[in-house]
Amino acid sequence: MVRAIERLVKMWPDNFYVSSQSREILQCPLRNPVDLFHSETIVKICAPMVRYSKLPFRTLVRKYDCDLCYTPMIVAADFVRSVKARHSEFTTNQGDRPLIVQFAAKDAHVLADAACIISPFADGVDVNCGCPQRWAMAEGFGACLINKPELVQEMVRLVRNQVENPMFSVSIKIRIHDDLKRTVDLCQKAEAAGVSWITVHGRNVEERHQPVHYDAIKIIKQSMSIPVIANGDIKSLKDVKDVHQKTGTDGIMVARGLLANPAMFAGYEETPLRCLQDWVDIALEHGTPFACFHHHLMYMLERITSKQEKKVFNVLSSTSAVLDYLRNNYGVH
């Protein structure tokens, strides 16, 4: 197993890991993310977000009291089959822990293979059973899996059996059914198969902007003996506490709220200037592509700029122009 891992490390480019520390990464003891849920505090989690929850942004939110980060969703079959996909889809370093890699999968063996490949560099995998996008559902990924509890069970069991380290977690992220009994049945079957925890986005597959069904998340939590995480429409630290109170869940996962304010978990009502400076420093250090660098700043400035200022900032087309704007308007260098 160690030799296989070392061969995989050689296949990856330097930015997959800090090359001078690659041996340390291989020998670094795996952290057990389940231990996070044994504390009395709410576990605060950065959601898997396509294009956005990559290493630079994960580095930023970890500076502001984020306990656990997920990667963007990665298609497991592509990851297993293609070195190019591994190069482009996953980057990490030693500070990027604890880390959960989320996979889209429809075959238990492919998922288990992906989990084995990634296991030396992360603390667990998550199966996306909640993405409602048509392309994902058409491919057999995402939210269609909530209607295939036996397949979800098989996925969990196979990852458990094939990843050698018992501390490596396997979790699922789901949406709810209209008939909540079906959701509870799915969750209980996943628990019986050995799932580490379950994240529940409190909407069904058809719902987008409708209110989140926190009452449904509460019922699911009461039906389980493993940790349950609540997700959906959480935009401030007050919301984190309120949703925790409503649902009794063990953790709170946030997506758009963190994009708008990466310092949210630290109690800031809006993005502080220090956070803007941190993002500039981190993004430049990591060589973040301009579009990603700019888009994150657009989200961060959303609540603290006027419409006119947005019109100016959002059409900037180079890193130097953005840096000039931030320096002149916010004193960020």
Quote the pLDDT of residue 333.
Answer: 83
Determine which one of 69, 129, 131, 275 is catalytic: 131
User: What pLDDT is attached to residue 76?
Assistant: 97
181-185 LR contacts (CB < 8 Å, sep 24+): 182/146, 183/146, 183/216, 183/220, 184/219, 184/220, 184/223, 185/149
Q: What is the pTM of this model?
A: 0.91
Q: Which pLDDT does position 87 carry in this prediction?
A: 87
- Asked about 131 being catalytic, the answer comes back as yes
Domain boundaries, the chain: 2-266, 273-330
- pLDDT score, position 208: 86
Q: Where are the beta strands (DSSP E) in the chain?
A: 43-46, 68-70, 74-75, 99-104, 124-129, 169-175, 198-201, 228-231, 251-254
Token output for 36 = 């996070």
Chain segment 1-34, per-residue pLDDT in tens:
444 444 444 444 444 443 233 334 444 545 689 9
The low-confidence residues of the chain, meaning pLDDT below 50, are 1-27, 29
pLDDT at 39: 85
For the domain 2-266, what is the CATH superfamily, name and number?
Aldolase class I (3.20.20.70)
Q: What is the pLDDT of residue 30?
A: 53
* Residue 96 near residue 54 (C-beta atoms within 8 A): no
Q: Which pLDDT score is estimated for 13?
A: 43
